[in-house]
Structure 1
Amino acid sequence: MENQTYNQIVNFIWGIADDCLRDIYVRGKYRDVILPMTVIRRLDVMLEDTKEKVLAMKKTLDDAKVDNQWPALINEADVAFCNISPFLLKDLTSRPNKQKMKTDFIAYLDGFSPNVQEILEKFKFRNQIDTMIDAGILGSVIEKFISSDINLSPRPVYKDAAQTILRHPALDNHGMGTVFEELIRKFNEENNEEAGEHWTPRDVVELMADLIFMPIADQIKDATYSCYDGACGTGGMLTVAQDRLLTLAERRGKKVSIHLFGQEINPETYAICKADMLLKGDGDQAEHISYGSTLSNDGNPTRQFDFMLSNPPYGKSWKTDAEKMGGKKEILDTRFNTYLEGGEEMAMIPRTSDGQLLFLLNNVAKMKKGTELGSRIAEVHNGSSLFTGDAGSGESNARRYLIENDLVEAIISLPENMFYNTTQETYIWILSNHKEERRKGKIQLINATQMKTSLRRNMGKKNCEISKEQQKTIVKCFMDMEENEYSQVLSNSEFGYWKITILHPKRNEDGSLATDKKGKMVPDKSLTETEIVPFNYAGGINGFLEHEILCYAPDSWINTAVTKIGYDLSFEKYFHTSVADRSNQEILTELTALQNETQSLLSEILGGAINDN
């Protein structure tokens, strides 16, 4: 099906909102009706051919007094769901009064199988029925969706009985998914402040998919793979990843299948995700989407995945999750706690104001071990994950765990204003537990901040995109792993440091050193200071003490009991471009020009005032 046909369908459905809902709903609430009704109509047309068979089976099962009827009924429907009401949507267009319309429509909705009921519940669609009934628009909305001007069916529609003149092409599962995604996109554009919370721009998702698949594309086998997103929103990342892997496999003559798994905490976006899976015919995949918080109620605690992509919430409090997990100080979840080589426990729990690193640790905990490819992760974060947190803090400990276990392949800095509801700088983290030999012990930093194309029209705060060619450039930069103006390849140790505490002796009034009863120097607490010592400092801590401290304060020493290890990553350190200093003459010339301009303006003002008098 051509894009023009997709657009016609999307525009027709969009027009339903303008035609039927305009005076009843504010524009931002159109989606509350249109999205669930689109789902319902697609499900309805997929059940038309088997409706009588399902009802006959229902009667047989009732007569036999079978309790658990849904498996048999769904099997009879020949799709992943069914409806046991006596109605199809086309049966509900005309009713003698509002009450009859309401009763029959509710009976129709109640007839859907449990997997559809959950979607309707999360959409809160039943909350809209009274509004539409009272306004007298429910019948009009239904008539629009069953109109001969639109076809949401997997079967073609013809103009003639001989079926020789095509009116509408069939809309297959992939096509329906595309239509649904376009509707979501349009609604997100209408609600810019909300869009970025649930939807990652397609250009970013495509780039992330290529960054995890391209390095291992030639190693793809005839096999089944799994892909997971612990903050899946409407499921866009999962479906893009699925399409990308299938395409790469087909080009290499491989036959693969991919199982999608996800979790989402927002009820509406969860419903959209599950509906999208059902609309594409992926009944099993829809069952793999869990509802609730990934942090405090992990829907996949024992599963491991081949590929993981995610855009977790950043700058968002996870205090409620912390309380559900027993309080921040009492969290024992092994995803967020680890042990050092000496057996010392190391908590990786960040401040409750921002939980994005917890989503990354959740993914790391689900990495496959012992397989040929291991697992690959692509995750979007803001700058906080790179540097927030002092040595020994939860954030720093998380970075320490990731880097010391050699899991970080690369971090890519994206252009500003890439997302819909934030202007914050964003970064893609690429992780693997099966690094190529050349990447072991190293992290590649890629500065892609200038690889962008301006949009003709802003989408919220998003004013640019990464074009297809620019995506290829970034992926090539990653694959080549060469050092240039956009890429730096650095040792893991480059990002580590010791935070040491320097003690200075207390002195008596005569300037002599004060000693305790055992003859040891007594530290002067007022003179205590801390210093940062990079791991790569020549001679380490002792070298730093000798060259930076003792030469100025020979009686000083280090309190080794409180030395802490920290990790942070700074793009500015490696890609900072300094502005050339201006000469004194340039500055003087500019100041003189400004002075003359000011004097001229004053003369005009004062001269005008004199003339007026």
Structure 2
Amino acid sequence: NAKQEDITLKVDTALKTIEQKNKSLEGALPDNYFSRLGLDQSKFSALLDTINNIDTLKDEAQDIVGRVYEYFLSKFAIAEGKGKGEFYTPKSIVNLIAEMIEPYKGKIYDPSCGSGGMFVQSLKFIEKHQGNKKDISIYGQELTNTTFKLAKMNLAIRGISANLGNKAADTFADDQHKELKADYIMANPPFNLKDWRAENELTDDPRWSGYEVPPKSNANYAWILNMISKLSQNGVAGFILANGALSGGGEEYKIRKQIIENDLVEAIVILPRAMFYSTDISVTLWILNRNKNERTVEVNDGIKSYRKREGEVLFMDLRQ
């Protein structure tokens, strides 16, 4: 149909039909987008022909459609000025988190899931290690409506079903998964988020029970305590934060001290600079574990193995 005069209408109708037949995509796809765009007919036809000539199924090991989608997501992230890597986490970092927490079986949660990249990569990790995708269920939450829709599409084109909550919503003010206890948490929350709550709001939230209330001037420790509250009895979390979260004073110091006394910190890994698309910031990977029994973890390409022991914290400086 590429050369038909009503091709833009045909594409819009197809998108609407896809949405109607796939409930997980409800509200995610653009409405009458191509009809409103005013594209040059011949250019649009040529674009469709070019896409049509790509053999997306030629190599089953390569997720061609997914790779193209990731490419445009990264371009979008740069164009939107999403500094600090909030929008798109580099694949190398996601792979490292997956290799260290080994999300094989159970519930995976991401409290700031962005476009869903963590979920895509963790499922690729499972497939690579001969695991079964059916043994995993996915839970996420995202604040920005556009990104929420992108996540739905990102997962749908790969046939991944997920519970992203009923809507795009603030994880702190409108938690979409209050009762969730996750076996694995993977996250790259916004760094150093200011004024994430009003002065007297969320002061008695059950998520910080047993800890100081995180300061409203910076959400780093609110993210950490939210994740700790969501961990199951043997749950493991791997997440990225700016290096400053390691040394904050005041309430942050007290919360950090309590987390260590509760023996939840398994590893702290400082990563090299310039790993993100739009910033050269150096970041830290935190591994938290509710059950630090001794066991060896094999990690490909670099770290050969490490042992988790009760009462110990592994520190790694990978900046060089």
TM-score by length of structure 2 reads: 0.80
Q: Identify the residue that residue 94 of structure 1 maps to in structure 2.
A: 5
The change in CA–CA distance for 1:175 and 1:235 in structure 2 (over 3 A counts) is same
Residue 152 of structure 1 contacts residue 176 of structure 1 at CA under 8 Å; is this kept in 2?
Answer: no
The change in CA–CA distance for 1:174 and 1:409 in structure 2 (over 3 A counts) is same
Q: Which residue identity lines up with residue 367 of structure 1 in the other structure?
A: L
Find the aligned partners of 1:425 and 1:148 in 2 and give their Cα distance. 38
Q: Identify the residue that residue 203 of structure 2 maps to in structure 1.
A: 331
Gaps of 5+ in 2: none
Find the aligned partners of 2:163 and 2:44 in 1 and give their Cα distance. 27
Q: Which residue identity lines up with residue 79 of structure 2 in the other structure?
A: N
Say whether 1:273 aligns with 2:145. no
Say whether 1:385 aligns with 2:214. no
Say whether 1:363 aligns with 2:249. no
Find the aligned partners of 2:171 and 2:223 in 1 and give their Cα distance. 8
The change in CA–CA distance for 1:361 and 1:152 in structure 2 (over 3 A counts) is farther
* Matched residue count: 311
The change in CA–CA distance for 1:152 and 1:402 in structure 2 (over 3 A counts) is farther
Listed one character per residue, the Cα deviations across residues 125-180 of structure 1 (whole Å, up to 9, x for unaligned) are 656743x22xx4256425522557524776xxxxxxxxxxxxxx487994432332
**Larger RCO: 1 or 2 (CA < 8 Å, sep 6+):** 2
Find the aligned partners of 1:414 and 1:386 in 2 and give their Cα distance. 13
Listed one character per residue, the Cα deviations across residues 194-243 of structure 1 (whole Å, up to 9, x for unaligned) are 36220111111111111111xxx9xx6xxx52211111111111111112
TM-score by length of structure 1 reads: 0.44
Match of 2:79 among 182, 188, 191: 191
Q: Which residue identity lines up with residue 379 of structure 1 in the other structure?
A: F
Find the aligned partners of 1:571 and 1:431 in 2 and give their Cα distance. 15
Q: Identify the residue that residue 524 of structure 1 maps to in structure 2.
A: none
Q: How does 1:140-159 map to 2 (within 5 A)?
A: 140-142=43-45, 144-146=47-49, 149-151=52-54
Match of 1:198, SS? coil
Residue 229 of structure 1 contacts residue 263 of structure 1 at CA under 8 Å; is this kept in 2?
Answer: yes
Say whether 1:137 aligns with 2:40. yes
Shift of 1:267: 2.4
Overall identity of the aligned pairs, in %: 22
Residue 235 of structure 1 contacts residue 273 of structure 1 at CA under 8 Å; is this kept in 2?
Answer: yes
Match of 2:275, SS? coil
Q: How does 1:202-351 map to 2 (within 5 A)?
A: 202-213=91-102, 224-250=105-131, 257-282=135-160, 284-285=161-162, 291-317=168-194, 319=195, 321-323=196-198, 327-328=199-200, 331-336=203-208, 338-339=209-210, 346-350=211-215
Listed one character per residue, the Cα deviations across residues 332-354 of structure 1 (whole Å, up to 9, x for unaligned) are 21112x23xxxxxx43322x332
Find the aligned partners of 2:226 and 2:214 in 1 and give their Cα distance. 12
Residue 407 of structure 1 contacts residue 433 of structure 1 at CA under 8 Å; is this kept in 2?
Answer: yes
Gaps of 5+ in 1: 1-89, 96-100, 155-168, 340-345, 440-468, 483-488, 493-569, 576-613
Larger radius of gyration: 1
Shift of 1:291: 2.0
Find the aligned partners of 1:389 and 1:206 in 2 and give their Cα distance. 31
Find the aligned partners of 2:61 and 2:294 in 1 and give their Cα distance. 44
Q: Identify the residue that residue 429 of structure 1 maps to in structure 2.
A: 286
Residue 411 of structure 1 contacts residue 429 of structure 1 at CA under 8 Å; is this kept in 2?
Answer: yes
Shift of 1:364: 1.0
Q: Which residue identity lines up with residue 430 of structure 1 in the other structure?
A: I
Residue 113 of structure 2 contacts residue 140 of structure 2 at CA under 8 Å; is this kept in 1?
Answer: yes
Say whether 1:409 aligns with 2:281. no
The change in CA–CA distance for 1:104 and 1:248 in structure 2 (over 3 A counts) is closer
Match of 2:182, SS? coil
